[in-house]
Structure 1
């Protein structure tokens, strides 16, 4: 395997780094976006009871630190009794912050998926340049220099696709999971806003 990396030339190094980065981001986000972590049942089942009575500062802090869903609910519960618009704005603001955190590193993963094929193409171009340089220097009689350039071109193309395809699948999968979690949190926020007498967040 290492021989293939070496044979692919220097373009294989950024491709290798991209593959490591994509794997690390995929594993980290898959762990961080678990439903049990973002939307814990212990809070979901207590939603109506949380809205039924004022919470102490300690309870609000505990709820805020519990999970992303808890942070959104705590933002609305902290201004219980205020103008309904204030409650809605606090929930929306907390929701935007939570969504931003859920989407962490996803842009980087999408960039890797887009850049990897271009790096592979760059390696292909470099390999073909070497082929033509070898033809210019030695003609077409010696196949060894030609084979080396063609091999480098094909290896980098294949490596770029091998990095980009899984990265794109990971990106789409994780993006879909974030969208699903956001929709479910929005449903809970609407329920809370209804209980507190505020208009549902837009």
Structure 2
């Protein structure tokens, strides 16, 4: 069959030294078409997952928490004007009325409430989207298998070839769903790690502010 011949040519090209760019694009396009109409929502889902994940990673990465250790930003508490970047802005906001101000701790909580609820809700949405990807691929496989068995019921001869080809085509959507979900889970873990790093920074900042407030009170 034509589809089988195409796969054999692709395998031979791979073993013989690799596909050319044109052959690879043709192979991917043919596989895409064989996957059926469900490949279109899968593509949209993939774009949505990766866009959402990258926007979160970039948003949290702008804070540059790892590149600004405590030994540096703790000095900015004494002179907030030295602070730079997102961390500097947070410190200037927190100690705007002075390190001994009772509003300092409230402002740390304000920073948490401004950023983290939105990030957490988007992580939940991202997790749901990533979970949907393999399920949508499985739906495509079920639809393909039903079509295969329907054709098998009315076909005569070459039943084995018909079943094998139908299963191959039906599994394309499952494979695509998994290929979307696996990087998605990796992105989720990166987002969660960045969020936890930011939370650790805020916890350290809160602890440092409390310690300095107590020192000022004791000095009085």
Give your verdict on TM over 0.5: yes
Change (3 A) 1:42 1:180: closer
1:98 matches 2:125 = no
- Provide the TM-score with structure 1 as the length reference: 0.73
1:121 matches 2:138 = yes
2:202 to 181, 185, 196: 185
Give 1:63-142 correspondences, 5 Å limit: 66-67=85-86, 69-80=87-98, 84=102, 86-100=103-117, 102-103=119-120, 105-139=122-156, 141=158
Q: Give, in whole Å, the separation in 1 of the partners of 2:159 and 2:76.
A: 81
2:54 to 12, 17, 27: 27
CA displacement at 1:114 relative to structure 2: 0.3
Contact 1:128 1:149 in 2 (8 A): yes
Higher Rg: 2
Contact 1:51 1:196 in 2 (8 A): no
Change (3 A) 1:19 1:25: same
Instruction: Give every structure 1 segment of 4 or more consecutive aligned residues whose post-TM-superposition deviation is greater than 6 Å.
Output: none
Contact 2:100 2:212 in 1 (8 A): no
Q: Give, in whole Å, the separation in 2 of the partners of 1:127 and 1:100.
A: 41
1:155 matches 2:172 = yes
Partner SS, residue 174 of structure 2: helix
Higher relative contact order (CA 8 A, sep 6+): 1
Determine the structure 2 residue equivalent to 1:13: 40
CA displacement at 1:142 relative to structure 2: 5.1
CA RMSD of aligned residues (A): 3.4
**Cα displacement string for residues 112-139 of structure 1 (whole angstroms, at most 9, x for unaligned residues):** 2201110011011101110121122225
Q: Give, in whole Å, the separation in 1 of the partners of 2:192 and 2:85.
A: 23
Q: Give, in whole Å, the separation in 2 of the partners of 1:176 and 1:170.
A: 10
CA displacement at 1:190 relative to structure 2: 1.6
Determine the structure 2 residue equivalent to 1:41: 68
Change (3 A) 1:108 1:49: closer
Determine the structure 1 residue equivalent to 2:187: 170
